[in-house]
Chains A and B, each alone.
Chain A
Amino acid sequence: MKNKYSIFSLIKNAFSYHENWEKAWKDPEPKKEYDVVIIGGGGHGLATAYYLAKKHNMKNIAVVEKGWIGGGNTGRNTTIIRSNYLWDASAGLYDHALKIWEGLSQELNYNVMFSQRGVMNLAHNLQDVRDLKRRTHANRLNGIDAVYLNTEEVKKFCPIINTSPDIRYPVLGGTLQKRAGTARHDAVAWGYARGADEMGVDIIQNCEVKGIKRNGDAVEGIETTKGFIKTSKIGVVAAGHSSVIANMAGLRLPLESKPLQALVSEPVKPIIDTVVMSNAVHAYVSQSDKGELVIGAGTDDYVSYSQKGSHDIVEGTLNAILELYPIFSRMRMLRQWGGIVDICPDASPIISKTSIKGLYFNCGWGTGGFKATPGSGDLFAHTIANDEPHKLNAAFNLNRFVSGDLVDEHGAAAVAH
C-alpha cells in the first residue's frame, strides 16, 4: 500500500525537506512472462493497465515504454478536454471519458488539476454557424451540455477576443461546453502510473519493442531491448508509432503519422480563464496555471516521425491568434514542440481486436487523444479482458474500414484535423 497523498503527508514531509517521499512507481526489470503486456507507457497505456488491474482483476500486467513515463505525447499536448462531438458514437466515447475525469483526482489520490473552465468553439463564416448550431443540438440530444452563443455573448464570456466585424475572419458566434476544460497532462500519466504500480503492474521504462512473435494466428510474446517477454495478450497503445508496431506483426493500419505542433508563451498574469478554439482559422488558446499561453497549431500534411513541425504552420496559427487577440501582439513565445500523431481517415480512433488472436490496438487518436485518456483506458481494458469490445467502443473497430461504417468526425468534431 502506498502512503496516501494529503495535507498531512505534505506537512509531515516538509519536516524532512521533502527528501523522503516514497517513489511513485518502481522501476523493475521485466519478468519472463505476463498475462498482458501493454506497449506504450503514455496516458492511454497506463490507464489501460490501471483499469485492467482495478476492474478486471488481472494481476500479472506489464507496461513497456520506449522512453520514460510522461516523455511522449502525454507530456506534449494542449491538455484540452471536451466531449462535444457530433456523432452519437463519438459523443458516447468522449463523454464517458469526461465523466471519469470529473472524479479522477479523487480516484487516483493524485491531483490531475482537472479544471472545468469551459471550451468555446468559434464560428467565422455562415457554414461554421450552421455546423456549430447543428452540433449543439446533436450534443444536447446526447445529454451533453452545449449552448450556442452569439457574438455579444462570446465577447462577454471572453472579453479579450476581437469581435470587430472588420477583421478578416469575424466572430459570428460560438458554442460553449461548460463541463469541458483542461488538466495537468503529465500528472495524468504519473497518477495512473502510481495507481497501476500500487496494484502490481510492472512499468518497464527504456524498453523498446523490437518485434512481435507470432505462432500462426496468435501472439506469443514480444522481443524488446530488455529481452524476450512471453505473453498471450498484447495491447498496443503506441500513438504515432502504431504502424511501426503493426508492421512487426505483419498488419497494416489505416493510419498516417504526422507532426502536430504546439507552443507556449512566456508566463503572464491571468488573462484568459477558458479555452477558445477556432476551427476555421486553426488557432486554439488557453492559459496554464503557470501563466503561459498554451497554443495549439495544426499538423503538417506529410508523413513524418521527425518530431519537428514546419515553421509556416506555427506562423499561420500565430497570425490567426493575433487577429483574434490583438492584446497578445507583444507576447514572446517560449517553447515550441512537435509530437507525432496517428491520424485515421475518418479522424476517429481505433479501439479494437485485430485478425491476430491476442493482439489489440488502441490508436488513431490523431490530434485529440488526451481528452479521452481515462475513457480510452477503461474501454480498452474491457476489450482486452473480455476479448470483446464494450458497447461504447464497438463502433471504433478496425473492421469499419472494410464495412464502410465510418465515424466521420473530420470537420464535425469542432476542430480541423
Chain B
Amino acid sequence: MFLINCPFCGEREQSEFKAGGEAHIVRPKQPTELSDDQWAEYLFMRKNIKGIQFERWNHIHGCRKWFNMVRDTSNDEIKAVYKMGEKPPVK
C-alpha cells in the first residue's frame, strides 16, 4: 500500500485508485493496415519493467479521472505524477 498524489484531488490511499497499465501505448492510426504481429504487439506485449515504469492510473473512487504516473516497480516509489496529454517528465 502506498499514497498517490492525484493531480486533481491531492494525496489519497492507493486503494482508491485503479491501475491502468503501461502508459503511452499509441492506438494504431490505421488499424486496417496492421499485420497480426503488429496487433499482438499493440494488444498484448508489455515492457513489464522492473524499475522506472510509465503507467496510467484512474482515481476510480474519487474524481474518476485518468492520469499518468512514473513509478519504480522494484520498490513502489512514485517519482512523478502528471496529467493525461502532458509530456512525461524527463527522468
Binding site for B on A (CB under 8 A): 241, 243-244, 247, 252-257, 300-306, 308, 310-312, 342, 345, 401-404
Asked whether A403 lies within 8 Å of B36 as measured between CB atoms, the reply is: yes
Residues of A within 8 A of B22 (CB): 303
Contact in complex: B53, A303 (CB < 8 Å):
yes
In the assembled complex, the CB of A10 is this many whole angstroms from the nearest CB of chain B, namely 44
- Interface positions, chain B 36-61, Cβ under 8 Å from A, are 36-37, 39-41, 43-50, 53, 55, 57
Interface string of B55-69 (1 = CB under 8 A from A): 101000000000000
**Interface of B with A (CB < 8 Å)?**
1, 13-15, 18-19, 21-22, 36-37, 39-41, 43-50, 53, 55, 57, 71, 73-76
Known contacts: A302-B55, A306-B74, A312-B1. The answer to whether A401 contacts B44 by CB under 8 A is yes
| Contact residues in B for A257 (Cβ distance below 8 Å) | 48, 50, 73
Contacts A244-B50, A312-B15, A402-B36 hold; do A254 and B44 have CB atoms under 8 A apart?
A: yes
Contacts of A305 in B (CB 8 A): 50, 73-74
Q: Is the CB of A306 within 8 A of B73?
A: yes
How far, in whole Å, are A255 and B50 apart by their CA atoms in the complex?
A: 12
- The interface residues of chain B lying within 8 Å CB-to-CB of A403 are 36
Partner of A256, one of B18, B40, B48: B48
Partner of A308, one of B15, B47, B76: B76
A301 to B22, CA, bound (A): 12
Most chain A CB atoms below 10 A, which of B15, B41, B71: B15
B71: which A residues are within 8 A, CB to CB? 302
Q: Which of B14, B36, B48 contacts A303 (CB 8 A)?
A: B48
CB neighbours of B36 from chain A (8 A): 402-404
Given contacts A243-B47, A304-B73, 5 further A-B contacts (CB under 8 A): A254-B45, A257-B50, A305-B73, A401-B40, A401-B45
If A252-B41, A302-B55, A402-B37 touch, does A243 touch B48 (CB 8 Å cutoff)?
yes
Q: With a CB–CB cut-off of 8 A, which chain B residues contact A244?
A: 50
Q: Which of A241, A252, A301 contacts B18 (CB 8 A)?
A: A301
Report B-chain residues with C-beta under 8 Å of the C-beta of A300.
19
Are A254 and B46 touching (Cβ within 8 A)? yes
Chain A: CB-nearest residue to B50: A305
